[in-house]
Amino acid sequence: MSNTICNVDEDTFPLHECVFTGDVRKLSSLLRFSNVTRKDKHGNTALHLAVMLGRKECVQLLLAHSAPVKVKNNAGWSPLAEAISYGDRQTISSLVRKLKQQAREQMERRRPDLIRALSQIQDFYMELKWDFHSWVPLVSRILPSDVCKIYKAGSSIRLDTTLVDFSDMKWERGDISFIFQGEKPPSESLTVLDNKAKVYQRVRYEETEHEIEDEVDILMSSDILAAQMSTKGISFTRAQSGWIFREDRKETIAGLYKSDIYTITGLVLESRKRREHLSTDDLQKNKAIIESLTKGNAHSLESNGGEPVRRASLNPPPESSVNWVTYISAPPGQYPGLGRDLVYKESSRNFRATLAMSNDFPLSVDMLLNVLEIIAPFKHFAKLRQFVAMKLPTGFPVKVDIPILPTVTAKITFQKFDFRDDIEHELFIIPEDFVEDPLRFPDL
């Protein structure tokens, strides 16, 4: 593949320049041999610029050549974030579809390696305890805790949990099982069971047109959010015990795993939001929804029983007067605005936490990462995977604190692990008396 991409001068960005000038014909010819993923000095791809400048034909052309949608520029914004700001519904829909397609393709590329890795390790049973905490007193009292049970047999995994999902101050409790069957085709391999209601839902391989448009409505009427754990300044220091004679602190976790205790500093949760695309009416509605949720009231996005009223495209921002030379000559990250004037707020919170690393735990970190990748549809497990993937001290993280939201942290304890050869095959099969409900878990 690399020999088909032409060598370009490091300081020239022909795709970006074509987008800037709106030269669709030249862009089309260049795309046959150019690297569509390339970023300029500001971290923008050609797709970023096409979206910010409202070059709709260029957007469609770049997407047809698999321009990445998830990639972020130096300011931390993706092409989708910029599309929401610009407010053209068709462009947002196109980017959402391509984003989901690219996520599926990435998972499919990883799938054979994941299944091979699962098959090569001995079958096991594991328990994880989740305790959620908040520095906001009233919130802390109502946060959930959960003991997750994980069974692994062959290339199959089952997760039993009472916590369905966790997002801004709302969660759903229940008796839930998540089943991954590695030998099944992708569209049938992931299933979630509601054991109380006796219904199941396949985690959909592709969304319906209606679901895509619902998602676009939500994106167009909500803040553009970007939150990430920054680990640039992170450090792990051996925790000390004793008043006079100081020594490295050790603990036995869950009565089984002798562990070295570390203090984590420099872990920062960065949260940024934009709302230049929202009307005053939107802001009032969103405030009312958040107030309702914090008081424990459920809220439905579709209050009327009929067809939802779709959001219309916004009037485009004024055509940018910035030319290509001005843009590319600007210092990195300091180029003149190309779309709407930003309405922007950022916050960061430092986390000081503890970490217990043990050499006694039978599972490897690599194997844990494979298991967590499979159950990543649950957002709190995706956060745990992101943390474990960091360069941790030696051993296995048997107890760890991680930030989940700006106001919420989770303490995760690996409290039980057994290699077993008696895990029943029936655990990974949908019971015969369960009925399929494709809409039981709308966020999965």
Question: Could you tell me whether strands 170-181 and 156-167 are parallel, antiparallel, or unpaired per DSSP bridges?
Answer: antiparallel
Q: How far apart are CA 157 and CA 174, in angstroms?
A: 19
Q: Which CATH number fits domain 2-103: 3.40.50.620, 3.40.630.30, 1.25.40.20, 1.10.10.10?
A: 1.25.40.20
Q: How far apart are CA 322 and CA 86, in angstroms?
A: 16
Element at 82 (helix H, strand E): helix 79-86
Q: How far apart are CA 353 and CA 168, in angstroms?
A: 22
Write down the domain spans for the chain.
2-103
| Assigned token pair, 48 | 């970023």
Q: How far apart are CA 21 and CA 340, in angstroms?
A: 19
pLDDT tens column, 186-221: 778 889 898 998 898 887 666 778 888 888 988 998
Q: How far apart are CA 390 and CA 235, in angstroms?
A: 11
pLDDT tens column, 152-177: 999 999 999 887 655 555 566 678 89
Q: Which residue(s) pair with 353 in the sheet?
A: 264
Distance of CA 316 to the CA centre of its chain: 29
Q: What are the helix (H) ranges across 171-317?
A: 209-220, 280-294
| Assigned token pair, 417 | 């692990």
- Classify each residue of 112-126 as buried b or exposed e, where b means 16 or more C-beta atoms within 10 Å of its C-beta: eebbebbeebebbbb
129 Cβ contact partners less than 8 Å away, ≥ 6 residues apart:
145, 146, 147, 148, 412, 413, 415
- Whether the CB-CB separation of 55 and 27 falls below 8 Å is answered with no
Distance of CA 54 to the CA centre of its chain: 27
Higher pLDDT, 441 or 391: 391
The residue-averaged pLDDT of 342-359 equals 88
pLDDT at 63 over 80: yes
4 Cβ contact partners less than 8 Å away, ≥ 6 residues apart:
33
The per-residue pLDDT of the chain, averaged, comes to: 84
